[in-house]
Amino acid sequence: MRTLTIRLPDDTAQRLKTLARSRGLSVNKLVEEMSTQAIAAFDVEMRFKTLAAGADREKALAILDRLDE
């Protein structure tokens, strides 16, 4: 595990503390959970873009046309 120091505006840091407290978490655990969610969203986006890049557009549109029938 590594230590990461970040600089935040005072108001943002205070709001994170308040949010963490309301969820029964430490600020560290809250940031860890938020980071995990951001990375998961990024991974899904990259997977979708990779699949889309190799897709056959005409075939996909034909499938959508059949669904509209």
* Residue-wise pLDDT tens digits, 19-66: 999 999 999 999 999 999 999 999 999 999 999 999 898 998 999 999
| pTM, two decimal places | 0.72
pLDDT recorded at residue 40: 98
Evaluate whether 29 touches 16 at the Cβ level (below 8 Å). no
Helices (runs of H) and strands (runs of E) counted in the chain: 3, 0
Nearest CA to 36 out of 21, 24, 18, 44 is that of 44
pLDDT recorded at residue 69: 85
pLDDT recorded at residue 42: 98
Q: Give the C-alpha distances (Å, rounded to integers) separating 29 from 15, 21, 35, 65.
A: 15, 11, 10, 47
HSE, CB side, 13 Å, CA atoms: give it for residue 11: 0
pLDDT recorded at residue 22: 98
